[in-house]
Amino acid sequence: MQKDAIKVIDRNGTHLLQLINDIIDLTRIESGKMELQRQQTKINDLCENSLVLVRQQTFNKQIQIHLQITPTLPDLIIDKQRITKVLINLLNNAIKFTPEKGSVTLKVTSKPEAFQLNSANTESSPNSTQTWIRFSVIDTGIGISQENIGKLFQSFVQLDSALNRKYSGTGLGLCLVKQIVELHGGKVGVISEEWVGSHFWFDLPCDDLLLRSSTPTLPIDSVDPPAQVTSEAPIVPFCILLAEDSLPNIKTISGYLKIKGYRVLIAQDGEKAVNIAKSEHPDLILMDIQMPKVDGLEAMKLIRQDSALKDTPIIALTGLAMDGDREKCLAAGATDYFTKPVRLKQLAIIVEENLRVAKQSSESYQI
C-alpha cells in the first residue's frame, strides 16, 4: 500500500514538473526570449537518440516501433535539444494513444515542394524553391475526430472524450511542438481517423549548402541504439558494465549510456557479471540486485575480492526499495544505490559523479 502511494506521488510530481517546464518554455517563446542554439545535426542521430528515450514505454505496451529514413538526406541546422523535445513529445503521444501490440513509425523524408506558412510575417515565409525535411510520426492508435483536430495545437487544451480523459497530459505538449517548429521556420500538421490512427508531421527547412554537400547514407529501418559516437580527439571512453537480466532495461539503459559517450558491456546474470568484471576491469559497474545464478549482493562481494576491483565504483540497482536494502548493498560492496524504475537523467548524474570521484582518487593515489 505504501509503495503504491509513493508511486502515485512520484507520478504526480513528474507530471507537475513537466507542466512547469512546458509553461516556462512556452512563455519564453511567446515573449520572444527563447534563442535557438542552432548546430549542424545528423538526422540519423537525432532520430535514434529520441527513440532510445521512449523505448521503455514501447516495451511496457509491446508496441512495435519503426524508424524509416530516406537515404542521402543532408544534415540540418537546428536547435538539437528542442527538436529532440518535439520528437519525444510526438512519439510519447503516439505510444500513449496506441493500444497494446500496436505500432508506431518515425519516418523522415525530403519534401522539395513548397508550402506557405499561415503567418503575418511574410519575410519568414518559405521560399518557393526551398527544400524541406519532413518528420512523420504515424501510429495505429485511437485516432482523433475531425471536429477535434483544430483544437490540438492550442494551449491547455485536452480533447474531451472518455478515451482521452483516460490518459494524463499537460495540455501544452502539442502547442509547444508547434511553437518550436515555427521558431525554426517550419510547419506542423496532422491527419487522423478515429479507430484507425494518426499521422503527425512537421517540416523543417533544409540549408541549401548542406543539401548540395550531402553524401549518400544507407536507408534505416531499425530502432537499435546508435553506435558509439567518437570525437576527433583520441579520448578513450569510460567503460561501464551493466549487470541486468531484463531485456527492456538493458536496451533502455545501455542505449542511453551509449548516447552519453560510454562504452557498455552487458551481463545478464550474476556469474557473468563477476567474470566480465574480472576480465575487462570496467571503470564502473551497474549491478541489478535480483540477478539469476548469482544474485547482485553475492556478485558484488565476489567482485570486491579481486584486488584490481576493490575501488571500482559499483552502483546497486533495485526495484524492491525495502527497509535495510541500502545498508545491505553498501555492506556487500556497493558505492552507491539507485531505486528502480530507473530515471535516465538521474542515473547519468550518479554515474558521472562516481566516475569523477574514482578518477580523483586514482590520481591522488598515483601522486
User: Is 133 contained in some domain?
Assistant: yes
**What amino acid occupies position 122?**
T
Q: Is residue 230 domain-resident?
A: no
What are the residues whose beta carbons fall under 8 Å from the beta carbon of 166, sequence distance 6 or more? none
Cell triple for residue 271?
A: 556469474
Residue 206 main-chain phi, psi, to 5 deg:
-105, 130
Instruction: Specify the DSSP class assigned to residue 336.
Output: E
Q: Are residues 181 and 308 in the same domain?
A: no
Among 198, 262, 251, 250, which Cα is nearest to 223's?
A: 251
- The pLDDT assigned to 225 comes to 40
Walk along the chain (367 residues) and give the pLDDT tens digit of each residue: 555 555 445 544 554 455 556 566 667 666 676 788 899 999 999 999 899 888 888 888 899 999 999 988 999 999 998 999 899 999 999 999 999 999 999 999 997 654 444 433 333 344 445 789 999 999 999 998 888 888 888 765 555 554 454 555 445 678 889 999 999 999 999 999 988 999 999 999 986 555 545 544 444 444 444 333 333 333 568 999 999 998 888 888 888 888 888 999 999 999 999 999 999 999 999 999 989 999 999 999 999 999 999 999 999 998 766 677 888 999 999 999 988 877 888 898 999 999 998 888 776 555 5
Amino acid at 348: A
Domains: count for the chain = 2
42 in any annotated domain:
yes
pLDDT for the residue 35: 82
* Residue 257 burial by Cβ neighbours in a 10 Å radius (0-12, 13-18, 19+): buried
- Kindly report the CATH number assigned to the domain that includes residue 337: 3.40.50.2300
Phi and psi angles of residue 344, each rounded to the nearest 5 degrees, phi first: -60, -40
Q: What is the CATH number of the domain that holds 200?
A: 3.30.565.10
Are 20 and 144 part of one and the same domain?
yes
For residue 132, the enclosing domain spans 13-221
45/123 same-domain check: yes
User: How much is the pLDDT for 59?
Assistant: 85
**pTM higher than 0.75 for the full model?**
no
- The torsion angle over the Cα atoms of residues 112, 114, 115 and 117, rounded to 10 degrees, is 110
CA distance linking residue 227 with residue 364, whole number of Å: 33
- On whether both 323 and 198 belong to a single domain, the answer is no
